[in-house]
């Protein structure tokens, strides 16, 4: 099994958009409604001469708030069990939410390497207004736009640094 990267985060933060951007195909379903990744989806790429397996851990069906929270916990458990590094994706347009804080505390306790990725930073002038995410307590943080492809190469560079 090659080095595995799992993408976790709330519904609608852009997990599937990022996955498709990294893999270079529209494999994963992107939808405006939260929770519309049907299943875990795996893809492989080579970057800086290193092989990465990337997992989109998205949800099963659009669902109620309780079901979504439950699902997120399962995704996080799965990622902790199987990934070498976890991409914790948050939404820079929406800002920091309590669900992000819940996920962050589980991830911190796991001791797994976590790269905190603030998505939807479509313009780098918007980076300072996203400094609140430093509060989540991860040293490794990067600001990207999955849909515009901004800093996604930098993200992959950072991921291969963990290998």
Tell me how far, at minimum, the Cβ of 15 lies from Mg ion, in Å.
5
- Point out which span in 10-18, 70-78, 97-105, 127-135 binds ligand GDP (CB under 6 A): 10-18
Which of 22, 120, 155, 159 touches ligand GDP by CB under 6 A?
A: 120
Which residues between 27 and 46 bind Mg ion (CB under 5 A)?
Answer: 37
Q: How far is the CB of 127 from ligand GDP (least distance, A)?
A: 13
Of 56-64, 77-85, 103-111, 135-143, the window that binds Mg ion (rule: CB under 5 A) is 56-64
- Beta-bridge partners for 143: 118
Distance from C-alpha of 127 to C-alpha of 159, rounded to nearest angstrom: 20
Which one, of 136, 139, 149, 77, lies nearest residue 113 by Cα?
139
What does 120 interact with, of ligand GDP, Mg ion, none (CB < 5 to 8 A by kind)? Answer: ligand GDP
Residue 12 makes contact with ligand GDP by CB under 6 A: yes
């Amino acid at each position: 099994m090659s080095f595995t990267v799992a993408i976790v985060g709330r519904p609608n933060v852009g997990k599937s958009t990022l996955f498709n951007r990294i893999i270079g195909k529209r494999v994963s379903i992107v939808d405006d409604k939260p929770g519309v990744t049907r299943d875990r989806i795996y893809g492989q790429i080579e970057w800086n001469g290193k092989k990465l397996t990337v997992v989109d851990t998205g949800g099963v069906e659009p669902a109620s708030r309780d079901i979504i929270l439950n699902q997120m916990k399962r995704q996080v458990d799965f990622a902790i069990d199987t990934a070498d590094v976890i991409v914790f994706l948050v939404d820079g347009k929406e800002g920091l939410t309590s669900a992000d804080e819940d996920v962050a505390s589980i991830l911190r306790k796991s001791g797994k390497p976590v790269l905190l990725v603030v998505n939807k930073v479509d313009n780098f002038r918007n980076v300072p207004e996203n400094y609140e995410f430093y509060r989540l307590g991860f040293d490794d943080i990067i600001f990207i736009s999955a849909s515009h492809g901004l800093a996604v190469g930098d993200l992959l560079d950072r991921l291969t640094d963990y290998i």
